[in-house]
Amino acid sequence: MTDLSHQQLVRWRRELHQHPELSDQEFATTERLTRWLQELNVKLLPLDLKTGVVAEIGHGEPLIALRADIDALPIDEQTDQAWRSQQPGVMHACGHDLHSSVMLGVAQQLQRIESQLPGRVRILFQPAEEIFTGAKQLLAAGALKEVQAIFGLHNAPDLPTGTLRTRGGAYYANVDRFQITINGKGAHAARPHEGIDSIVIGSHIVTALQMLPSRVFSSLESVVVSVTRFTAGNSWNVLPQTVELEGTVRTHNAAIRAQIPQKMRALINGIAAGFGAQAELVWQEGPPSLVNTPQWADFALDLAAEQGYQTQVGTPQMGGEDFAFYLQQLPGAFVSIGSASEFGLHHAGFDPDEAMLEPAVHYFTELAQRALLTLRQQQALAS
């Protein structure tokens, strides 16, 4: 690649990694990205964004977009790397520092051949992916105006370094969140019969929720219900009045997704009432299933194979991605690139292989140019 050094990519990545910021708080990250893009003489779009930055390279039509996310997670890093997070309790445990560094490298490469580009490439450095609001912010700000196709990347710690994976159709699941509050009646632990034991009721509900994937819906459908928080009481000898449960539901089927809140509410209300308690469900809808355009997913895999990368046709995943909001409005594809970490995403020991940076830059630089040519050819045939 022209004048691109692995060392520069690593420097960008490590500075971002040492200074992670949570969703919608990526102020210093935005300042760094803005400064680096300006040093590369890349044009920035004057959009009304609190955090995040959008760059554009090239002239005329067609126009495609590339997206990297920039936010970190509330995790205390447990690696011994010299570049580990300097922010206690905050870590780039999902690799968004990698994604941002890759797209900085792509911007650098495209800027150097700007006059030769057969169109424009808009690069989105998106905030707040982890809380699933960033894509909506960019859409509302007009960042996707006139864009004809969009591509995103995510590192994949389960893949060998540099291996590319994607698939046409459903790739990531929709992600919804629930909170359940159970109100029973507190009592002394020695006299539980005088109360209504919200812990026992909560335990019944946790178990019953696991019936949804296989007894309420067909076991042939991909439905995951996970209770991730069970909070109750603060004393060893008191039965608490209130229990709070929290968790997530994921599926690829929009029709099933629409039924789950009603089914869950009926289930928890029935169990609570059977014990003389009351239960409340709060449902928070997240991003939809991420559905890649088959044409562009095939394009991405074919290009990778042509360029000598190892490739895999993916299977539907149960993770979630707010890139799905873009694909509701535009054709495109989301691509996974191997980062070969012993520990997975959202783990305090996540430590990806930085050797994935350079091949990822090379791949997305080529993808941008070839996608523009493909769109131009399609437009010529249609005219």
Alpha-carbon span 305 to 163, nearest angstrom: 10
Note the maximum CA span of the chain: 82
H/E element holding 30? helix 27-39
The string of DSSP letters for 320-379 reads --THHHHHHHS-EEEEEEE---SS-TT-TT----GGGHHHHHHHHHHHHHHHHHHHHHHH
Three-class SS state of 151: strand
Q: How far is it, in rounded angstroms, from Cα 218 to Cα 212?
A: 9
| Per-residue pLDDT, 241 | 98
The single-letter code of the amino acid at 53 is V
Domain boundaries, the chain: 6-172+289-382, 174-285
* 100, pLDDT greater than 90: yes
What CATH architecture does domain 6-172+289-382 belong to? Answer: 3-Layer(aba) Sandwich (3.40)
Backbone angles phi, psi at 175, to 5 degrees: -130, 115
Q: What is the mean pLDDT of the chain?
A: 97
pTM, two decimals, is: 0.93
Per-residue pLDDT tens over the stretch 312-346 = 999 999 999 999 999 999 999 999 999 999 999 99
Q: Which fold has domain 174-285?
A: Alpha-Beta Plaits (3.30.70)
Tokens describing residue 335: 């691509």
Instruction: From residue 186, give the alpha-carbon distance in Å to each of 194, 205, 211, 233.
Output: 8, 18, 28, 10
Q: Is 191 helix (H, G, I), strand (E, B) or coil?
A: coil
Is the CB of residue 334 less than 8 Å from the CB of residue 292? yes
